[in-house]
């Protein structure tokens, strides 16, 4: 067992939120077409409130802290917040589009001991990346920032979201990451907006594009193993947890709302009204999330993919049932293995039957 797995297991046993994700703003200097956030400011927490939340995180046992947005550097107190987080000994991951990072900011991040900087890059072609962010010159500035960060010895991850607008650019972005000395990740998932609006789902990459990723050894390693048929589901698998959301990790919005995960918008409390630890330990919503085991899932518990699916309970929740299947994850499991999922079969069975219209024969014309 790895040290990280041992740490996670101990946190789960003790009920400790090992990881926390805090968005300090939803404001952003880009307008990415697939973004799930409302970028208006509806009353962000103040610097003092955020620092208080960080203290409460530390008291609750949080160790891994992700600071993000929106674009976190839109807040003038961003570095003050990072500095305070580091003073509490958090391992800090910083998510940014990097447009506002110059040499001075890169040096500051290095001096503060930020563990990792994750930067979104959607294409190696400026016309494609900039079309997605809606900001001309954004790719050029982002790449310059990555060079600054790498020159300071910082670990950088280039995160690429696959969608229809950047189809075919995976290899180019991966090559750019290698050139810059950055790690590369690819996510083929587009999520609904936090308010439930699903219009952005039209941007999802199609099955053939996802299939090309799953058959690329540079992205998945051993393709034969990765795309192999799912292993038989046993009792141990059925007793397993759907994911770490609400168990060892959580998300807090710029307005103080607590959720199991950034992709799981089930409101569990608000740190402006209650202490974080009180929410973590006593929220009825979190208690419900924690009570669910794989065997309790509607449809998924009987699926052959149950032990290997990447099903996201947050995406399932936004489809109407946190215990139900996530259509996006069903599709990924099918594309990966070629085996139809129980969720896909259930949707097909519940689809309305086609309406048959009987057309009367044309009347016979007589002279």
Strand-pair partners of 119:
96, 158
Residues 23, 67: Cα–Cα separation, whole Å: 6
Write out the two tokens for 25.
């703003």
Residues 144, 153: Cα–Cα separation, whole Å: 15
Write out the two tokens for 87.
């003073």
Band (358; pLDDT cuts 50, 70, 90): low
Per the CB < 8 A criterion, the answer to whether 183 and 158 are in contact is yes
Residues 294, 94: Cα–Cα separation, whole Å: 32
Give the DSSP per-residue string, 279-341.
Answer: HHHH-HHHHHHHH--GGGSTTGGG-TTTTT----HHHHHHTT-TTS--HHHHHHHHHHHS---
Tell if the pTM clears 0.85, that is, is over it. yes
Lowest mean pLDDT among 65-79, 199-213, 244-258, 265-279: 199-213
- The percentage of residues in the chain with a pLDDT greater than 70, rounded to a whole number, is 96
- Indicate whether 363 pLDDT > 60: no
229-243 burial, b for 16+ CB within 10 Å, e for fewer?
ebeebeeebbeebbb
CB atoms within 10 A of CB 102: 12
Q: What average pLDDT does this structure show over 146-160?
A: 97
The mean pLDDT of the chain is 93
- Indicate whether 70 pLDDT > 50: yes
- The percentage of residues in the chain with a pLDDT greater than 90, rounded to a whole number, is 81
Of 150, 215, 220, 209, nearest to 185 by C-alpha is: 220
Band (367; pLDDT cuts 50, 70, 90): very low
Predicted local distance difference test score (pLDDT) of residue 193: 87
- Indicate whether 23 pLDDT > 90: yes
Residues 334, 340: Cα–Cα separation, whole Å: 5
| Residue 179 DSSP symbol | H
Could you read off the pLDDT of 184-214 as tens digits, one per residue? 999 988 989 888 888 999 999 998 899 999 9
Q: What average pLDDT does this structure show over 50-75?
A: 98
290-313 burial, b for 16+ CB within 10 Å, e for fewer?
beeebeebebbbebbbbbbbebbb
- Indicate whether 259 pLDDT > 70: yes
Half-sphere exposure of residue 309: CA atoms within 13 angstroms, side-chain side: 37
Could you read off the pLDDT of 290-302 as tens digits, one per residue? 999 999 998 999 9
């Amino acid at each position: 067992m790895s040290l990280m797995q041992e740490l996670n297991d101990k946190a789960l046993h003790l009920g400790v939120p090992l990881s926390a994700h805090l968005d300090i703003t939803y404001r952003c200097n880009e307008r990415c077409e697939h973004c799930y956030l409302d970028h208006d400011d509806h009353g962000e927490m103040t610097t003092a409130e955020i620092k208080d939340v960080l203290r409460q995180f530390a008291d609750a046992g949080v160790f891994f802290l992700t600071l993000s947005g929106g674009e976190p550097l839109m807040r003038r107190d961003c570095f003050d917040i990072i500095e305070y987080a580091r003073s509490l000994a958090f391992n800090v991951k910083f998510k940014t589009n990097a447009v506002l990072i110059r040499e001075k900011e890169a040096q500051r991040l290095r001096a503060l001991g930020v563990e990792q900087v994750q930067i979104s890059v959607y294409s190696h072609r400026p016309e494609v990346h900039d079309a997605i962010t809606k900001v001309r010159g954004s790719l050029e500035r982002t790449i310059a920032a990555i060079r600054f960060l790498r020159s300071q010895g910082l670990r950088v991850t280039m995160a690429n979201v696959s969608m229809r607008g950047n189809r075919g650019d995976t290899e180019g972005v991966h090559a750019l990451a290698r050139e810059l000395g950055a790690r590369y990740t690819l996510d083929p998932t587009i999520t609904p907006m936090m308010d439930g609006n699903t219009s952005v789902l039209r941007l999802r990459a199609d099955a053939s594009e996802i299939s090309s990723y799953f058959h690329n050894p540079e992205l998945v390693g051993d393709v034969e193993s990765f795309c192999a048929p799912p292993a038989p589901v046993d009792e141990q698998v059925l007793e397993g947890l759907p994911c770490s959301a609400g168990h060892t990790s959580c998300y807090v919005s710029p307005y103080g709302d607590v959720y199991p995960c950034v992709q799981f918008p089930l409101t569990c409390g608000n740190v402006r009204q209650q202490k974080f630890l009180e929410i973590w330990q006593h929220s009825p919503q979190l208690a419900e999330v924690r009570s669910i085991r794989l065997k309790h899932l509607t449809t998924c518990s009987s699926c052959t993919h149950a032990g290997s699916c990447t099903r996201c309970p947050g995406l399932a929740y936004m489809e109407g049932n946190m215990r139900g299947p996530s259509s996006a994850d069903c599709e990924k499991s099918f594309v990966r293995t070629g085996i139809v999922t129980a969720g896909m079969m259930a949707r097909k069975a519940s689809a309305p039957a086609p309406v048959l219209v009987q057309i009367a024969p044309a009347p016979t014309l007589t002279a």
